[in-house]
């Protein structure tokens, strides 16, 4: 199964503008209050003074939730643009890759890898690294999304691509690491269990849907270019407005999955 190319990842995460837009969309348009970091930290349950690894930390969205529990953070991030985007880091940031963490074995009390393992070329190696650096008995949280294939946004994207003659028959992130990966996780963490948080994005107008779509999902095609993005956003504008006119809103159910495990 094809992995997100380093070139496309570099473009997507050159800074945190697109990521921040998606995070703000979830904050503003979720049907029920959306605080995934607080939910994940409630499962991880670090104690005061514990050291928590945030692998693939991005712009530090989970760090205030870690700090609220009196824990400390070491953040590993390979995208230097993301590190530069954090103006007042609450964590000690280290440049590195989750498949070769720049940490000694048994260094941290707990570990997190949130919404990033689906981008990793070698997921088993990343899981082994999370186990290696986490002290025995520590908790490891690996967060992802439920199956995005059934999302109304994904279905509308595929329809728009077909109509425009654009090849959208490509893997998407949750094909690689979604809510079907418990068996893979258990090969490294035998006691891993699945926890889920169910919510929905509800949009009363088309503009925020299109901004969210243009921040990432638009590139789920064989060869994304400026032309395919422009054509797809234009057609999606029409389709989304039609849906809102018929239904009064555009609704995207969402399911966040957290695999929680104990380091062996």
Q: Where are the beta strands (DSSP E) in 56-138?
A: 72-77, 92-95, 110-114
Does residue 245 sit within a domain? no
We report the CATH number of the domain holding residue 178 as: 3.40.50.150
How confident is the model at residue 242, as a pLDDT? 98
Q: Over 90: is that where the pLDDT of 59 sits?
A: no
C-alpha–C-alpha distance, residues 128 and 199, integer Å: 31
Greatest CA separation found in the chain? Answer: 57
Domain count, the chain: 1
CA 200 to chain centre: 16
Does residue 218 sit within a domain? no
**Rounded to 5°, angle at Cα 11 from 181 and 3:** 30
Residue 87 has a CB neighbour count (10 Å cut-off) of 7
**Matching residue, tokens 């969309």:** 25
Does residue 243 sit within a domain? no
Does residue 21 sit within a domain? yes
Q: Where are the beta strands (DSSP E) in 71-192?
A: 72-77, 92-95, 110-114, 139-145
Q: Over 70: is that where the pLDDT of 149 sits?
A: yes
Q: Which domain holds residue 111?
A: 6-147+171-199+255-262
Q: Over 50: is that where the pLDDT of 197 sits?
A: yes
Does residue 205 sit within a domain? no
How confident is the model at residue 84, as a pLDDT? 64
How confident is the model over 71-127, as pLDDT tens digits?
999 999 987 666 666 655 667 888 899 999 999 999 999 999 999 999 999 999 999
Does residue 211 sit within a domain? no
Does residue 61 sit within a domain? yes
Does residue 12 sit within a domain? yes
Q: Whole-prediction pTM value?
A: 0.90
């Amino acid at each position: 199964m094809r992995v997100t190319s380093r070139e496309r990842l570099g473009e997507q995460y050159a800074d945190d503008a697109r990521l921040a837009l998606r995070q703000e969309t979830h904050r503003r348009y979720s049907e029920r209050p959306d605080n995934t970091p607080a939910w994940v930290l409630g499962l991880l349950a670090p104690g005061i003074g514990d050291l928590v690894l945030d692998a693939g930390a991005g712009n530090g969205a989970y760090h205030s939730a870690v700090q609220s529990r009196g824990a400390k953070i070491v953040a590993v991030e390979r995208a230097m643009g993301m590190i530069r985007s954090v103006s007042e880091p609450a964590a000690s940031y280290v440049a590195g890759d989750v498949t070769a963490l720049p940490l000694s074995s048994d260094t941290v009390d707990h570990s997190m890898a949130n919404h990033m393992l689906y981008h990793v070329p070698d997921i088993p190696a990343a899981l082994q690294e999370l186990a290696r650096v986490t002290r025995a008995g520590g908790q490891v949280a690996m967060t992802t999304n439920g199956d995005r294939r059934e999302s109304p946004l994904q279905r509308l994207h595929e329809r728009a691509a077909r109509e425009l003659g654009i090849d959208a028959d490509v893997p998407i992130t949750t094909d690689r690491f979604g809510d079907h990966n418990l068996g893979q996780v258990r090969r490294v963490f035998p006691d891993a269990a699945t926890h889920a948080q169910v919510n929905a994005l509800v949009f009363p107008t088309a503009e925020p849907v299109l901004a969210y779509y243009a921040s990432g999902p638009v590139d789920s095609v064989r060869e994304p270019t400026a032309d395919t993005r422009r054509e797809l956003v234009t057609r999606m504008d029409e389709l989304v407005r039609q849906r809102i006119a018929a239904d009064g809103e555009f609704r995207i159910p969402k399911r966040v999955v957290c695999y929680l495990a104990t380091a062996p």
